[in-house]
Structure 1
Amino acid sequence: MARKKKRVSEFEPEPKAPAPPPVGTSMRDLLKGVELAKPEAKKKPEPKKPEPPPPPPRPAAPITTTPARDLEGRPSETLRGDDRIAYLDALAGVRPMAGRGPRRLGAVAAPPSPPKPEERNRDAAARARLASLVAGGVHFDVHREEGWIEGIRRDAKPSLIDALYRATVGSEATLDLHGIRAAIAGDRVTKFVRDAQRHGLRRVLIVHGKGLHSDDGNGVLADVVVGALTEGGAAPLVIAFCTAPQAQGGAGALLVELTKR
């Protein structure tokens, strides 16, 4: 016999859902069902790879120390202790320049012996020949009296002697031959005249002394001076000459007029 279904009224209330289980308020009840995260295991640090060792330093070039005695040829033997060490440290690496080693003095040559009389005579003759060649075609008229000498080139005006003696302008340079030997006096006169003419001087004074012990009152040096002015190397640079006025030396000196530069 078939079972009949139970008819449910539409006004019958629906069945209630079962109530949740009561939850406790204690810490244990609150922590139930809570899963704590496990701490991660610490990783062990990987070992560092060893760094390659640095390359060995290059060997330094050897330093050669030049002893103090190799510099300037004079060792510093007076230094001692720390001063000597500091001095040698300061010279470390110093090398002498090529081709400039310490000077070495050789033997000193003995002075030459004085020339013999015959050699001096030959030299004087050679100088006289050379002076005559230098003078060339220059000719002078020379006049001498006691205490008076005058000379003038043949191509100059005779009145030049009076103008030279009476000139109000004195000499511009003076050569004093006192104490000079006659053998070298002529060369001194030639050099003096050349230097004066090269510097543009026109009138010079040559002091030869009065020759008080000579026969003609003119002396040996006076003849040497006249020869240098008329026949020597100074002749081409001379126009005229005469005994100087008393204020400038009188009979012991000659005024000389030079050519223009």
Structure 2
Amino acid sequence: MHGPGPAAYRAVLDVRLRRPAAGIDEDRHQLAAVRALDLDVQGAPRYSRGVAKRPFNEGLQKLKALSPPREERPQKPVRPPPPPPAPPAEPSESELWAQATRGARPVERGPDTVAPPAPRGAPGAHWHPDLEAIDALRALVSGDAPFDLSDTDEYIEGRVAGLDQAVVRKLRRGEFAVQGHVDLHGLTRAEAKQAVDAYLRGARQAGKRCVLVVHGRGLHSKDQLPVLKDALKGWLASARFARHVLAFATARPVDGGAGALYVLLRRPGR
């Protein structure tokens, strides 16, 4: 079957010219115009849609061939993420010291500046064990020791602070029964101190309350001074001996007089 000739195209064009489709731009929408004409025109020859669209399709293809191709926009390169920041370096000791002392100023020494006390080291060559007794006597004088002391050239007496004075009077009068004694004649200071310490500790553990310590008058010592008597007064008032002793007093003449001491001991376990 042969398709329509030129007369058919002219018939379609004539219809288009005579009766344009309402509301359709024929220049821009040719296919829509043809469809409208195909529906609105009465008595016009009917042709297949392929025959009617052929001249318009060819024109569209020519227009597409003449139009410049679209330029594709180049894609922007994706930037890699920035590397993580490096951890800060640890400051050196000099930097830490500079930060700690920033703004510090040296103290200016003025007339009111108190010098630090000299460090206390080991005892020097002049140290002597009897210095303990001297320290105890100094503490008694200043009121820091637990013992109250009173003495004369021939007489010495001491008691724990707070002890009833009536107890000391009884001790001085010899009203407590003497339950033992220790004799220090012929001993050096160091030997005498050790002997007194051991004897008082043992006597207290044995439950004895009153003992006699014979120290002598010092008649056979250098310059005839009662060396052990003065030392014994400090020993009995020191903390080492005070844990055993309540009071002491010069003995009556019948028990040795100025050459001996009554010592009243604490009860065991107290």
Higher helix share: 2
Query: Given the two structures, how large is their TM-score scaled by the length of structure 2?
Result: 0.45
Query: Given the two structures, how large is their TM-score scaled by the length of structure 1?
Result: 0.46
